[in-house]
Structure 1
């Protein structure tokens, strides 16, 4: 129990959070607002607000003047995630993407087990381990958020191109 608390609290340092929110690939990692705020999708609006306050203080550029540029990027990611989750329609979209990721992994696991059974093998898969399952859902969810963002950018570029041609 103490180790878990220490591990959780060690993440709550300005440097760790700025590193996490500006790491390579962060433009995709940061598409999931729950991931940015390190919140469970079932979190209440009050819990989300509390977490936003906590993180925004940690990564605020004024509090991290030795690393102001990265702190600014981290702060913007936290702010964007919070604003997105305040909008109930946007929050529902994010929850739908997370649910789709989970359902995809569940379906894949079911198919793997079916194939193993068909092959006369024991239907045990690595995703039976809750941590492995959770990681698979995390990866699939990240892929879905990334695909949606790519489609959004393509749509935006197409609209800009059409406007330009008029």
Structure 2
């Protein structure tokens, strides 16, 4: 069931949205050699950015093969560009954009996190390459030309971009599902722990009350027993037969 839900959620990030975003960004990049502060903020905060920004390389606009020095230089340049101090006309959006850039940079500073991100990008590329081979194989089987649109480097790059975003989105959905499950399990364990503690407390209180009342119950029983014996002695004295006088014996 969880897998089906994940697929459904992933589909909300439509291919059309990916395509529009990619096309618009590329148009801006062609028009301006360097995006302005406002354009970068718009890029980082546009609709669907919660999914687009899962790819730290796209956030920083840097290749996965970039060196650590290139990464640091790119971060400095981009962070300065979107910093709230440089965008005092729109400080709130600038702050959000800056946080996105900072998060992507810190993620890529972690070797394990960077490796995972690189693996996702590589998986996206390998998937597209596989699909292209399958297309060509089918075209050859049908006796048709094996030329496909992905032969165009830009189209191929766009296809890899879309597939990579989908993979990042799927991983994020699974992470959230796993996190929700773990939270539910922690909550259930905590509730069970509290219930066990309350049960133990009730048992201790019952035992304490029982022990405190035991002496009282014993004393009451002893009092009752002693009163019973007293009454028995008194009743026996009344039952003694009267002494017979000598005259009556004759």
TM class by shorter-chain length? over 0.9
Deviations 1:94-141 (A, max 9, x none): 000000000000000000000000001011100000110000000000
Of the candidates 152, 155, 158, which is equivalent to residue 178 of structure 2? 155
Residue 112 and residue 18 in structure 1: after superposition, are their counterparts in 2 closer, same or farther (change >3 A)? same
Aligned pairs, number: 161
Selected match of 1:83 from 90, 106, 109: 106
Once the two structures are TM-superposed, the CA of residue 5 in structure 1 deviates from its matched residue by: 8.2
Aligned to 2:82: 59
Does residue 1:30 correspond to 2:61, yes or no? no
Provide structure 2 residue ranges, at least 5 long, that are not aligned to the other structure.
1-28, 190-250
> Distance between the aligned counterparts of 1:8 and 1:100, measured in 2?
30
Question: 1:62 Cα shift?
Answer: 2.1
Residue pairs, 1:77-116, within 5 angstroms: 77-116=100-139
Pair 1:126 & 2:149 matched:
yes
RMSD: 1.2
Match of 1:74 among 97, 103, 106: 97
1:45 counterpart = 2:87: no
1:121-164 alpha-carbon deviations (Å, 9 max, x no partner) = 01110000011000000000000000000100111111111111
Report the counterpart of residue 33 of structure 2 in structure 1.
Answer: 8
**Normalising by the residue count of structure 1, what TM-score does the alignment of the two structures yield?**
0.94
Q: Write the distance in 1 (CA, Å) between the matches of 2:148 and 2:31.
A: 32
Cα separation, 2, equivalents of 1:6 and 1:165: 56
**TM-score in terms of structure 2 length:** 0.63
Offset of 1:63 from its aligned partner? 1.8
Shift of 1:65: 1.9
Provide structure 1 residue ranges, at least 5 long, that are not aligned to the other structure.
Answer: none
- Alpha-carbon separation, structure 2, partners of 1:116 and 1:8: 39
